[in-house]
Amino acid sequence: MTDCDLSALRERADNGDQDAVDELIELAAEHGDLEQLRYLADQGNTTAADQLIELATEHGRLEELRRLAEKGNTTAADQLMELTAE
């Protein structure tokens, strides 16, 4: 996907196109794009939040899990507790 295609996809997602949002989440997860997942999760997208938690856990990104936990995400809090207990 070119930068132009990605920009168009982001614009469609910003305009409420759920298929574009889903595609962005899939692409971001495949490419480890925490920034894109964070943006979508911060907008309330639970699928993006779940993918962000999964990637953050895999890569030991405790600060990301902590940030999500502080915003009330219980899954992030659980993952954080598991990682810090090891």
- What's the pLDDT at 86? 67
Q: Please, what are the averages of pLDDT over each run of 10 residues along the chain (86 residues)?
A: 90 95 96 95 95 95 96 95 87
- Positive or negative, the Cα torsion across 45, 25, 75, 78? negative
Side chain identity at residue 83, one-letter code: L
Letter for the amino acid at 81? M
